[in-house]
Structure 1
Amino acid sequence: MSKLVKRITFVIIVIALISSVFYFESKFSKPKNVVDNPKQVTQNNKTSEKKDTLKAANTSTTKISPQDLLITNDEGDISIGVSYMNPIQDDKDNLVFQVFLDNHQVDLSQLDLSGKVLFTNSEGLKVDNVKWSIEGSGHHVVAFIKIPKKINGKNLITPNTKYIQLELRDIGGVKSRVYKWDERFLK
């Protein structure tokens, strides 16, 4: 199977997973910030693409969608997409990241993320002791990473925070994959 077909398949699976998560979530609960008070973000029509970094640049106010928050990386043996979930469905205690893992070679349900995740913000705060869980089995799984919003009394996101990033290390033959969300998604 060609790399292009793998990427297209991966993107379709990620979109289907995100859609199903939000469909079922909306069926069973009504999160205040999703329905009653949607957060908004200023985006641009011109996009400058930088690998693994979400950027944008023309001013039109729109609601944040799951696709806006998803960053993918197809390097190595495992394709990994990461969504920063708080702008859509806030968790009062944690920063939540949904990680989509896809491959056609190994069972990912046994993947151990311990010591493979590093959170960093623009102020230099780093967190590598994160909570994580994996759902699903086989070649396509979803992991959830939760990081407390406060570490040692310090907020990980403040009005001065310019970006947050999640680094996944040594997964699928790739030493480092960096996923970065800028300040538009941190309000």
Structure 2
Amino acid sequence: MLDHVVFEEPWKGIKVSAYTDQYAYDPEDNSLVFISLAGTEQAVKAISSAIIGGQTVSIMGADNSEILLDGHAATHFRVLSTKLSGGAVHQLVADSRFFGSDEPGAYLVVIPQQEDVSKVVYRQVLTHLASPLLPEWVQWICGQLKEVDRMREMEGTLRVAQVSANEATVDQLVSQGLRTGQIRLEGGGTHARFH
């Protein structure tokens, strides 16, 4: 289903609109982290420029719901663009944390529909850390990351998780879990369980 995206500056006589099929935003400040745009070249470029410039856009859902979102001024975006037949343009405007981060341990991860968030975060983020992690601990580790506000899901039509985890954070959680018995090694270290 396509939603309608509008950027408007009435005092300048500007009003452009395009379509989006997927977007994700941070519910804490309504800042976009990802949006897929399609429409005329002028409209798509105006909307993506507004987002990158930290201005507000309106997304109108098929049910006539409206949400006001913007690009956070401190966010760096990457724009991927292609021209479609007939002159339309398709752009992906994505927070650069999808591609890696200047801030060590800060990631945005796309969660495919019907997949478990913890398993995707484990595959995409945690397995790349030098921390001693067993797959059986994934649900517990992700729960702990959420509890200390190091992992949370964005809102929108695209499932995205923000993860702020580095080796030190994960090592501390694993040590705490082993010490308190919330996770443990069994069978000489070949199996793991969590409670």
**Which TM-score applies when normalising by structure 1?**
0.26
Which structure dedicates a bigger proportion of its chain to helix?
2
Structure with higher Rg: it is 2
